[in-house]
Amino acid sequence: MWPSGFGDETSPASYAAGRIEYQYNSKIERLAIKKISGGNTLPGPFNWAGVVNQYFAAVFIPDEPQNAAMVTLRNSLDVPKDAKNPNPNDTVKVELLGAAVGNTKGRSVGQMFVGPKSLPIVESVHVPTITGAEQDLRGLVNFGFFGIIARPLFLWLKWTYDHMVPNWGWAIVIQTLIINLALLPLRISQMKSMLKMQRVAPQIKSIQEKYKKYGMRDPRKQQMNVDISALYKKEGVNPAGGCLPLIIQMPFLFAYYSMLGAVLDLRHAHCIWIRDLSSPDPWHILPIAVIITMLFMQRMTPQAGMDPAQQKMMNLMMPVMLGVISWNLAAGLCLYWAEGNLIGIVQQAIMNRTELGREMREMMEKRARKKDK
């Protein structure tokens, strides 16, 4: 049995990140510390079960899953606050998790895996009793809800690291560039959609004024939405068109977040001043870069249908809010985010010089002048 943070050489607080996990066929269950009771017996069947944390695992692989059961342990342990200079009078309590798997109907026979949750390693451990899923321990590497994107992203990133540039940071830079270039058509589509919204804005306002005198419960008020929808259809406007690129980009951001928290390869991966891409930037240069690039992005991107005063407030509030969110995120995620913003600035600067961009800017300036009057 191990403390839930076994394998880490970080602060004692990291011990609290452990879980009890087990798998039956394709279904994987994860029990957080708060749900684990010491001495509790969980009946099987189990293809594998044991204690895991972010990067390491110790699991049992019983030969007879149908007869297996697991006994869990949860206790407290006093450990020194400073592992390098231990002091018996300066300790902190951390959770101790343990698990034992055995056969309830006879002799316990099986295998045991103890080691890092490196994807190639866990995929090499054969578990013949699993059905409906890959017969190995890949389920130990939890890519989360966005695993359908995060796993391919990591495999692509690893290929870039192995075949193009032997540095994880620069591999992220290359991957981010390719992703943003691939999303460029969506950015152009977003700009076209916003321009169309600007063009019909006066007509929409006229329709709203027409039905302004009716109350919300008045049946005639519903006709306003019908008229606006008809106008959108006539002019070929998709109200959600401006949001579509953001909706598509967000899963990549969340996938990067889950990937950096799951894969062992990026643990202690360095890039220039960053010693660990899976941990926060020690100098907070990248979160600051996120704020600055977001400020430029907000200022350069035309925002249809927004009051100029409200637009100025959003141009400041949004970058600051996102900067606060990114302050303690993994450096690798901030690198992806900041570079994506930088590429977006270049793309937006080019698009603003096109005929489409000039038309939109002129419309917004005209609208602002009317507002000042």
Give the separation between CA 230 and CA 228, rounded to whole angstroms. Answer: 5
Structure tokens at 268: 């202690």
Please determine, for residue 3, whether its predicted confidence score (pLDDT) is greater than 50.
Answer: no
Of 103 and 186, which is predicted with more confidence?
A: 103
Tell me how crowded residue 106 is: count the other CB atoms within 10 A of its CB.
9
Give the separation between CA 324 and CA 333, rounded to whole angstroms. Answer: 14
CA separation, residue 47 to residues 1, 28, 50, 109 (Å): 19, 10, 11, 13
The pLDDT value given to residue 281: 92
Give the separation between CA 50 and CA 286, rounded to whole angstroms. Answer: 37
pLDDT digits (tens, 9 = 90+) for 321-347: 888 888 999 999 999 999 998 998 888
Give the separation between CA 175 and CA 256, rounded to whole angstroms. Answer: 11
Please determine, for residue 288, whether its predicted confidence score (pLDDT) is greater than 90.
Answer: yes
Which one, of 76, 71, 74, lies nearest residue 99 by Cα?
71
Q: Is the whole model's pTM more than 0.75, yes or no?
A: yes
